Structure 1
Amino acid sequence: MRDSYRVPVRDVLEVGGLLKSRILAGQGGQGRTITTVSIVEAPDVLDWVRPHTFVMTGGFPLRHLDPTGGLSTAGLCRFLSQLDDLEVAGLGVQFGTHLDELPPEVLELADELEFPIVSLPADVPFDQLFSQMMVDVAGVQNDVLQRTYELHALLEGLLLEGADVQRIAEQIASVLALGVLVTSVDGRQMAAVMTEEMRAELAEADLYDETGRFRVERIRTPAQTAGGGQLVAEPIVAAGNDLARLVAFAPEHAIGEDVRYALQRAASLLALQITQRQALNVVENKYRGDFLRDVLSGRSKNREHAEVYAVGLGWRLDMPCIVVAAQIDPQDPREEPASTRVRRAWQSRFHLAWTQVVGRESPAYPVADFGDEVVVILSLPEGREDLAAEPAAAVAELQQMVERIVRSVSGDRGGGRRPFSVGTSRLVRGFEQLPAAYQQARRATEVGRRFTGGSSTSHFDNLGIHRLIGLIPDIDELTVFAQDILGELAEETAQATELRTTLQVLLDHNLNVAEASRELLMHYNTMRYRIGKLEKILGPFTTDANLRLNVAVALEVHKIQQ
């Protein structure tokens, strides 16, 4: 039978004629599933027993596992191991004339294998036990089918009504009596139906990072929790695209195969809803992106028209503000190059993450996907409009907001999240300044990545000399400048690298030879020798202030271009 029709041992023992039964050993195996029941009256049972069969027997076949007719502990242990290898659901034993009890070694092995051994009522004939158990199994299966059908019908109705992911999750949780999360592939919550107790237990199991991301990558198979419950994460997939995860949590028991089947059906319907939502988002995001591009490129020159259009999209273009540009960092050369389809999936998740996190600050902040970057316009939060008259305080407030957003989007970098770099503009006080601010944010992202190697947040106002360097569009001219000033120090050799390090430390210490020597753990005379060597290459930078300035700028240009 299919997995969905398998009935856990615990469910069968809780109904009908087996209520008087008790588990002697193998308590941990109550989640094993049953598809049929068999009575064993001869010791050659292994020739025909099938997986997921619950075997019922008496003392006579077990005693005669040994041809001499004596009770063999070794034979019983071997028999139990063979049943376990065949994926038998459990063994029910009716004690009586031929067998009063099982040896302790057999019960210990059952506990170790988590193989249920059940003591059957001695006052009920085998044929009656058999028929009652078959009725019970059929009854549970019927309940499972009915529940799955009801869930499927409910979800189909919700889809036709245009229900969102949250309403669908609520129905799944209600019908299956489970805690439910729907998350993105990297664990960002899309919908949740969880009690505070459930959340606390999952948090105690370290399944949330500090930003609230659910660590869905840790639930690759059904996972037990400390409280004896179980977690299952079903992938939500459509047309080969990995869309999301449906996470189910039973805090006090294992999740049976029947429930997992119902979750798989629910995941299929969720895939339809998410795909439909994504199709609508593509259209909406195009309009949003096109509008914001027009504003940030300077093509939209009418402020009043732009503000009215923004309100129609649910946005506000309040001043003062800053522009934020975020880009996924290039792949490490050691990584296998990702396909276009994979990179698009990364960008889509990246945009979704920024949209959700920025939306928690305020849904009125414009957020758009420009294909290779996500662009945001952040204005002062409600209640802090008084900072508009204090530029320094306004910038500090907005930069703190950016740091919060970046932390939340980054999380612990789990779930397949890609590293990214962020740049922010200067404070914008007028609508006409937005195009320049956008260029500043992009330049801050680019310069910050070049200078740090990636995973950076750079504010245009804090770039220092890099801010001026970043404004020079001709990269080749910068390269020529650095090479002209540094000469052979611009080469990528071990000697040139060592001399550049010495030169940088000297400049950092205002040419104080003693302090530079101490930092480099170098003898004073060795440092004097190196200074002489540097002056032969660069000229008298220790006495010529203009030359020293050129050398310092050239070093910064070289660092950025490495």
Structure 2
Amino acid sequence: MVTLANDPASNVRDLPEPLAEGLSVRDLLAQPGLAGATVLAGRAGLDRIVRGANVMEVPDILPWVKADELLLTTGFPLTRAADTDAGSGARLLDLLPELDRIGLSALAIKLGRYLSAVPEPVLRLADQLGFPLLRLADDAAFDEVLSGMFGVLLRQQNEVLAQADALHQAISAIVLGGGGLPQIAREVSRLLDCVVLITTPDGRVLADEGHEPHRSAIRELDVFDASGRLRTERLRIGVHPVPGGVRAASGSAGMSAIVAGGVDHGRIVAYRLGAGLLPGSMQALERVAIVAALTITKELAVAAVEGKFRGDYLRDVLTGLLPADDQVVEHCRSLGWEINRPMVVVVAELDPAEVSQRAGGAVSGVQRSQHERFASAWQQVLRAHDKTAPVVAFSREVVALLPVRSADSAAAVDGVVAAVSGDRGGGRHSFCAGVSRLVSAPADIAAGYAQARKAVQVGRRVHGHGSVSHFDSLGVHRLLSLVPDAAELKSFAADVLADLAADSPDAADLRATLQTLLDTNLNVAETARLLHFHYNTLRYRIGKLERIVGPFTTDPHLRLDVALALQVVQMRGI
């Protein structure tokens, strides 16, 4: 299970990484330093990137070779006294696969005194590996090749730095002018000619800017789930190619984490169709991520103040301290909420975390950052469903007043819960939700809130984590939940069920038989069919059950006690 929304970002730092741009082998061949160089084999690898150079002077060069380098040699390290080209070729046959495995960009050989020709088997191997094998001009000097190549790389890096700095200044001007995430994303997409998405850590899109054809291309890729969440767990920090599919062409994506003060605020993702992102795009994204972090921090601070005022007001309405009259309805409208319509109250709570090892074995509750992300997910989903639906986050719960039609309340709730849950790929935590009866008038909101809270509490005890419980479906558990003393309920179940109350596989098996008998109104034939027992086997089991709990088949009062005791055992946390 991927938990991207709760894991620290892998590129948490204060400054962008050092530049890592380079030139392809194909482009490098066009530079003056390599004038006259030809490709002997491995043309399929000419798009490999070169970021450095090395000179081969000893036979055991492998420990010093690095990825993305151009390796220069005269062939002398491959020869020994009385060696022939065939002997040198044999050593090249052994060397080439290792160089390719390390990630070397290309091998450039100056033929002549030490190696007059590259044997045909070596050329065939280079073609198979897609490993560029180059021949330097006869008059080429290694110092000229190295200085020319590094000069080109330095000029490119200077251009990349200048571009990133210009983008940083443009974004800073937007922020200082009061712009937000959409304006930042729009400017980045314009300058980098790509689609830019700014998301929460688990991929909830906060800003989405860009033009055709890049926008259509990213929508055709399988990177969004049904709720519109960007599957950030399918991308990785840095720039990498994105393969196309049946309907989509391939492209390139870059992703950087938005981090401030050690807090992971989200991701900034750029996608460009075709040849890939422009040089320096990753460095630009990292700089933009710093500005975006400041913007998000500012927006969170403002939202926290506004949210507390709105939340405190709605809490008074939900708890009945403030009667929901016409004046309250109008004030809610001024806050952007519509409460005078049919709706249900939904209370959602994150399921408690497991025992924390870092807390010394103490049971840790829901972390604050998790609860804030959970509340943000509800607000974003409800905003897409209905912008005027109230959604507020309290200390341990999120409360939503979901507008519904009386005929589709369950379907509407299920749709919203599914959208908040997503496909679990973004690290959404398990949560329980309780749903009230239909609230047809504002005056019934307080009663609906009490019903939803009761539903979420009882639902977790009966069905466990991840349950969605409607108040009308609680049945007898509503009454059992009113008993404040859990020990009294446990004692009642133990007295009625005796050995059947034990926490063992045999007791659980017999309880299942007893429950099925009660569900079928003691119809032995139907129970045997449902449990796949022989009729006589079930008769034997009934006798065993009556020896344990008493004559429940003939005593209706005992049968009621047994049914209630089984419901108590079913409830968790008792």
TM-score band, normalised by shorter chain:
0.7 to 0.9
Q: Which moved more, 1:214-223 or 1:291-300?
A: 214-223
CA contact (8 A) 1:46 1:83 kept: no
Q: Does 1:173 align with 2:195?
A: no
Q: Structure 1 residue 493: deviation in Å?
A: 3.7
Q: 1:224 aligns with which of 233, 241, 248?
A: 241
Secondary structure of the corresponding residue to residue 3 of structure 1: coil
Q: Which moved more, 1:322-331 or 1:9-18?
A: 9-18
The residue that corresponds to 2:367 in the other structure is: 343
Q: Deviations along 1:62-117, whole A, 9 cap, x unmatched?
A: 36741447432133355656766887654445779997864454445556766544
Please show how residues 267-282 of structure 1 align to structure 2 within 5 Å.
267-282=289-304
Q: Which has the higher helix share?
A: 1
TM normalised by structure 2 equals 0.82
The residue that corresponds to 2:6 in the other structure is: none
Q: Deviations along 1:470-500, whole A, 9 cap, x unmatched?
A: 4555545544443444344333244432332
In structure 1, what is the Cα distance between the partners aligned to 2:26 and 2:309?
Answer: 54
Q: 1:330 aligns with which of 352, 364, 369?
A: 352
> 1:428 is matched by which residue type in structure 2?
V
Q: Does 1:144 align with 2:166?
A: no
Please show how residues 363-374 of structure 1 align to structure 2 within 5 Å.
363-374=387-398
Q: 1:335 to 1:555 in 2, by over 3 A?
A: farther
Secondary structure of the corresponding residue to residue 265 of structure 2: strand
Q: Which moved more, 1:8-17 or 1:289-298?
A: 8-17
Q: Structure 1 residue 190: deviation in Å?
A: 1.6
CA contact (8 A) 1:7 1:258 kept: no
Q: 1:312 to 1:10 in 2, by over 3 A?
A: farther
Secondary structure of the corresponding residue to residue 316 of structure 2: helix
Secondary structure of the corresponding residue to residue 181 of structure 1: strand
In structure 2, what is the Cα distance between the partners aligned to 1:248 and 1:66?
Answer: 49
CA contact (8 A) 2:111 2:117 kept: yes
> 1:459 is matched by which residue type in structure 2?
H
In structure 2, what is the Cα distance between the partners aligned to 1:146 and 1:226?
Answer: 30
Q: Does 1:320 align with 2:357?
A: no
Q: Does 1:242 align with 2:264?
A: yes
The residue that corresponds to 1:66 in the other structure is: 79
Q: Does 1:461 align with 2:469?
A: no
Q: 1:55 to 1:434 in 2, by over 3 A?
A: closer
Structure 2 residues not aligned, in runs of 5+: 1-16, 245-249
Q: Deviations along 1:178-197, whole A, 9 cap, x unmatched?
A: 33222211122122235676
Q: 1:187 aligns with which of 198, 203, 212?
A: 203
Q: Structure 1 residue 347: deviation in Å?
A: 0.9
CA contact (8 A) 1:13 1:21 kept: no
Q: 2:402 aligns with which of 374, 378, 382?
A: 378
Q: Does 1:34 align with 2:58?
A: no
CA contact (8 A) 1:15 1:136 kept: no
Q: 2:419 aligns with which of 408, 415, 421?
A: 408
Q: 1:340 to 1:551 in 2, by over 3 A?
A: closer
Q: Deviations along 1:29-66, whole A, 9 cap, x unmatched?
A: 7353425x67x6977895998858865858xx136741
CA contact (8 A) 1:425 1:444 kept: yes
Q: Which moved more, 1:102-111 or 1:333-342?
A: 333-342
TM normalised by structure 1 equals 0.83
The residue that corresponds to 2:23 in the other structure is: 8
Q: Structure 1 residue 214: deviation in Å?
A: 1.9
Q: Structure 1 residue 378: deviation in Å?
A: 1.3
CA contact (8 A) 1:202 1:208 kept: no
> 1:66 is matched by which residue type in structure 2?
T
Q: 1:19 to 1:173 in 2, by over 3 A?
A: farther
CA contact (8 A) 1:9 1:32 kept: yes
Q: Structure 1 residue 355: deviation in Å?
A: 0.6
Secondary structure of the corresponding residue to residue 249 of structure 1: strand
> 1:528 is matched by which residue type in structure 2?
R
Q: Structure 1 residue 515: deviation in Å?
A: 1.7
Q: Deviations along 1:345-384, whole A, 9 cap, x unmatched?
A: 211111111111111111110001112111100124xxxx
C-alpha RMSD of the superposition: 3.8
Q: 1:121 to 1:292 in 2, by over 3 A?
A: farther
Q: 1:418 aligns with which of 422, 429, 434?
A: 429
Q: Identity, % of aligned pairs?
A: 38
In structure 1, what is the Cα distance between the partners aligned to 2:285 and 2:364?
Answer: 31
> 2:18 is matched by which residue type in structure 1?
D
Structure with the larger RCO, 1 or 2 (CA within 8 Å, 6+ apart): 2
Q: Structure 1 residue 323: deviation in Å?
A: 0.4
> 2:291 is matched by which residue type in structure 1?
L
Q: How many residues align?
A: 544
Please show how residues 482-561 of structure 1 align to structure 2 within 5 Å.
482-561=493-572
In structure 1, what is the Cα distance between the partners aligned to 2:397 and 2:491?
Answer: 30
Q: Structure 1 residue 230: deviation in Å?
A: 3.2
Secondary structure of the corresponding residue to residue 429 of structure 1: coil
In structure 1, what is the Cα distance between the partners aligned to 2:154 and 2:66?
Answer: 17
Structure 1 residues not aligned, in runs of 5+: 381-393
> 1:343 is matched by which residue type in structure 2?
Q
In structure 2, what is the Cα distance between the partners aligned to 1:458 and 1:378?
Answer: 15
Q: Structure 1 residue 396: deviation in Å?
A: 3.0
